[in-house]
C-alpha cells in the first residue's frame, strides 16, 4: 500500500498526530518543570501545542505538504 493513500485518511493522520504529541509531551513537560515554570503555564503551552498539531494533521495533504512518493526517480519534490 502506498504511503500517499495511507496519509489521505484523516483519521490515520489524527491518530499519528496524537501519538506524536504523546511522544513529545513528556520531554517538553520535563524541560519546562526543570526550569521551574509554573505547572499551569506548562499545561497551557501543551494545550496550544496539541491544538496546533491537530490543525496541521487535518490540512489537505496534497495542497500543503511535500509529495510523499515521487512518480519519477527524483528525490522528494515540493
Give residue-wise pLDDT tens across range 4-24.
Answer: 666 677 788 888 888 888 888
CA–CA separation, 49 and 11 (whole Å): 19
At 76 the pLDDT is: 55
Which residue range forms the structural domain that includes residue 41?
A: 1-57
Q: Which residues contact 21 (CB under 8 A, 6 or more apart)?
A: 49, 50, 53
CA–CA separation, 78 and 29 (whole Å): 33
Count of structural domains, the chain: 1
Residue 64 belongs to a domain:
no
Residue 15 belongs to a domain:
yes
* Residue 21 grid coordinates: 504529541
What digits encode the pLDDT tens for the residues 40-61? 888 888 888 888 888 877 776 6
Amino acid at each position: 500500500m502506498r504511503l500517499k493513500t495511507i496519509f489521505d485518511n484523516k483519521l490515520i493522520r489524527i491518530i499519528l498526530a496524537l501519538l506524536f504529541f504523546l511522544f513529545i509531551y513528556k520531554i517538553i513537560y520535563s524541560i519546562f518543570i526543570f526550569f521551574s515554570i509554573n505547572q499551569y503555564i506548562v499545561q497551557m503551552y501543551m494545550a496550544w501545542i496539541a491544538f496546533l498539531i491537530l490543525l496541521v494533521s487535518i490540512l489537505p495533504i496534497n495542497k500543503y505538504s511535500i509529495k510523499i512518493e515521487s512518480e519519477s526517480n527524483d528525490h522528494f519534490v515540493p
